[in-house]
Structure 1
Amino acid sequence: MSRILTLNAGSSSLKFSVWAQDSRVQAGQVERIGGDARLLLDGSAPVALGPADHRAALTAVLAAIGPGVDGPLAGVGHRIVHGGPDRARPEVLTPEAIADLAALAPFAPLHQPHNLACVAAARTVFPDALQVGAFDTAFHRGHPWVNDTFALPRRFYEEGVRRYGFHGLSYDYITGVLARSEPDLAAGRVVICHLGNGASICALRDGQSIGSTMGFSALDGLPMGTRCGQVDPGVLLFLMDQKGMTAEEITALLYRESGLKGLSGISSDMRTLEASNDPRAAEAIDYYVFRLAREIGAMAAVLGGLDGLVFTGGIGENSALIRARALERLGFLGLTLDPAANAANAQEIGAGPARILRIETDEEAVIARATRTALTGA
């Protein structure tokens, strides 16, 4: 039976899964890349990898997928964070397409190089498999112009300086779940919060992306594990002019040293911060919750109201504390939390005119579907 492998490289993780037909037969991830990384396989004890980078993580994954799964590998599906202004759907990764995507690396330096490194490795290890890219930016390509542009001279928009939006594979999956299980809600005004080491919020009307907190890069909007989120551009000018920082130094600061890590001085991992008694951890969480509530309100304004709110992603799915504290600030939107359901990580965690849901995302399922479609044409 032909198999499909999916590779989903995030800023601090590498998730993978093996599929036969529509069934996932193997799955796992390497988490905490850049720190004390470990390989997690379904049904197996964690394997410590030490201070692994993405390349070491990928080597561990490729070694893990072979045993125990029969059949040739027909396709490899890749999460590609940035697809540029024109890609609105997955596509086969030809050498020309790969070169084009590599040119977008400055737009997503934490992700694009790792995504494309996975492509290069998979082409070497599985030379007969079809390589398919599924793009995080594709889901947002129908944005209204006012949500797609910046107030800069128009020539920059034509040159590609625009709001792209990210986490599209996750939003695609959640939108599909809603369409199947909650069609009335899916046809309305829904805000989805993808909260993980990377975090963003998407406003949808009738299943279509109308606005996103992320913009030109994966830096904007919410504070993240190591990324700053929204920051006054004047701060960047100050860092350049008064502090003499180079573009490379500012890039490292904004992408790798800010967010929860920078605010707390402790960790980029929300689990660590929630367990800490250090007041700096509490302050980092306070800021995170403040910005989360603020951006949910902003996305509700983009939609002109709110029918449903969905939490997903590692933090969104697992942190009852973050959900509860954000919702404390949002009663004016008709959001009422059910504390018991929230503590139990139930799917429906609230009541009122606007529903509140917790739905586990599955980006790998979206990647596998795209790869299967490319293989079969169906």
Structure 2
Amino acid sequence: MRRFGLVFSVVAAFSLAAGCGGGESGGGEDTGGGGGEAETQAALVLDVGGLGDQSFNDSAYAGLQRANEDFGTGEEYLESSAPTDYVNNLTQLSDNGFSPIFAVGFLMTDALTEVAPQYPDTNFAIVDSVVEGQPNVASLVFREQEGSYLAGVAAGLMTQEETEFTNEDLVVGFLGGQESDLIAKFEAGYVAGVESVCSECEVLVQYAGTTPEAFNDPARGSEIARQQRGQGADIIYHAAGATGAGLFDVATEENFFAIGVDADQAQLVPDAPILTSVVKRVDNAVYDAIEQANNGEFPGGEVVEFGLKDGGLSLAPFGEYDDLVPQEVKDQIAEAEQGIIDGEIEVPDTPQ
């Protein structure tokens, strides 16, 4: 369901209960942010899964909220229930005078390529893709393979440890959402990380589907998690949006480790055995672009890239499982991170 209007409750932005819009706003009135009324009025077009995906949509919205608190730039958003909504949502926000408008997800590349030239005075940004040749579009991309490599190092080392969540099979899993070049970057980094510390390990790889719905299918996530668990996997990393909720359910039921994505998902699903998460700072990317727009410095026409070196990605703390992770494992992860930052480790961005 699409929603258009101010969001008056921010409590659920990172929970399963999220997704409630407020009343209609008439196009960008001040939402009570600390910066007061701003000339810049930002808005998001969320991808399938919407708010409450505990993933990139929620992270983008958190960046929008933070910008509103600091600059008073609004908290408007539209949810996309299907790819057919993209053009209409982008057009609706453009017609209502919002700028910058964020297309949250690579699936909106074609839609934004169509809409942006029709509104040359509106600033747009797209997350996880590049729109070529549009001076009013900023392309915000990440080196997802770098954070995924660290997740792979953690999985490859921890599957060799004796804990209540691991076995002796040396099998770990990867659960992807839609088959795509973007999610292949997560897979490539993860597999390379596992293999760098555990040459005997087997990495099971499976995707939820070939359409955008693959990011919003927890039942399919559960099915794949059970299959991989049945093949011996004791740690499964997902890059599947809301589909990953199914992994967390199965990990809880069958007592094995999951690795989250985009946000520190252990904080969002505290009852699940989530070892760590690859935190992708979509929130920072959105916030920075809004701040630049507010200062008259919007990076239109540019590709802005985020990786480990500039804090665009990180591995979340081990939280309640910290005592189960030996210091030598933590040290090896830290060494791998520094090696990537220093350019000593080159992480593949396509599966080998």
TM-score calculated relative to the size of structure 2? 0.37
TM-score calculated relative to the size of structure 1? 0.35
Give the number of the structure with larger relative contact order, counting CA–CA contacts within 8 Å between residues 6 or more apart.
Answer: 2
